[in-house]
Amino acid sequence: GQNIDQPTEMTATEGAIVQINCTYQTSGFNGLFWYQQHAGEAPTFLSYNVLDGLEEKGRFSSFLSRSKGYSYLLLKELQMKDSASYLCAVNQAGTALIFGKGTTLSVSS
Amino acid sequence: GAVVSQHPSWVICKSGTSVKIECRSLDFQATTMFWYRQFPKQSLMLMATSNEGSKATYEQGVEKDKFLINHASLTLSTLTVTSAHPEDSSFYICSARDNTASDTQYFGPGTRLTVL
């Protein structure tokens, strides 16, 4: 079956670094996406990985290991505005993205 | 990133009426769009896949006669909630897949529907 797991909640303080993990078991794989969703708003695209390794984009980085079915999103220099849900999603080519249930990150001062 | 618009952003209607929500990809063509529903503090729930020029594919448990989807062009999909009831009140979000950008799905801003 299809399964994407991520922690339900995480907390961190301003200026810190946080890593949000995602493990997946899907029948197909054609890339992994990370989205950010603030309360009451739609998700916004953060990153995409299709090959193993680290993709860096400013304060955010995303890592993928296809052999381990594992990805993480790394957020550096945390700011209060980073408090949001972070969604891991797997692309299976030709179908809708399969989303995890999301990780709610709370950043405190 | 690409831009997807959704209209209206919020709507309040009486029970029994129908509501149409539009989803447009503004700077790319989308042969495939998706409609999701999200209840407070819950994850996204895929309702249906909208394919340009063909019938939508509905997820299990989603009534196709109640949630009518039309994908009339490569930049527009519409979702009509027919005979709305209070339990249909939710946050409806569309996304459009950009085939030229690794199949990235870009989301519209969402439509908050309240049925009285």
Q: A80-106: per-residue pLDDT in tens?
A: 999 999 999 999 877 788 899 999 999
Total number of residues shown for chain B: 116
| Chain B contact probe: residue of A29, A45, A86, A104 with most B CBs at under 10 A | A45
Confidence of residue B41 (pLDDT cuts 50, 70, 90): confident
d(C-alpha A32, C-alpha A47), whole Å: 8
pLDDT at A8 over 70: yes
> Which pLDDT score is estimated for A4?
94
Of A30, A45, A99, the CB nearest to B43: A99
Confidence of residue A1 (pLDDT cuts 50, 70, 90): low
Among A102, A87, A101, A93, which Cα is nearest to A27's? A93
Confidence of residue B53 (pLDDT cuts 50, 70, 90): confident
| H or E element in which residue B13 lies | strand B10-13
d(C-alpha A16, C-alpha A54), whole Å: 19
Q: Is B58 on the interface with A (CB under 8 A)?
A: no
Q: Is A3 on the interface with B (CB under 8 A)?
A: no
Compute CA distances A36 → A7, A73, A81, B43, whole Å. Answer: 15, 11, 11, 12
Find out whether the peptide bond into B8 is cis, omega within 30 degrees of 0.
yes
Question: Within a 10 A sphere around the Cβ of A38, how many other Cβ atoms?
Answer: 13
Give the residues across from B78 on adjacent strands. Answer: B22, B70
Fill in the DSSP letter of residue B64. T
Tokens representing A5 are 């797991």
A15 torsion bin: left (phi>0), alpha (psi -120 to 50), beta (else): left
Q: A39-58: per-residue pLDDT in tens?
A: 989 999 999 999 999 999 99
How many Å lie between the alpha carbon of A30 and the closest alpha carbon of chain B?
9
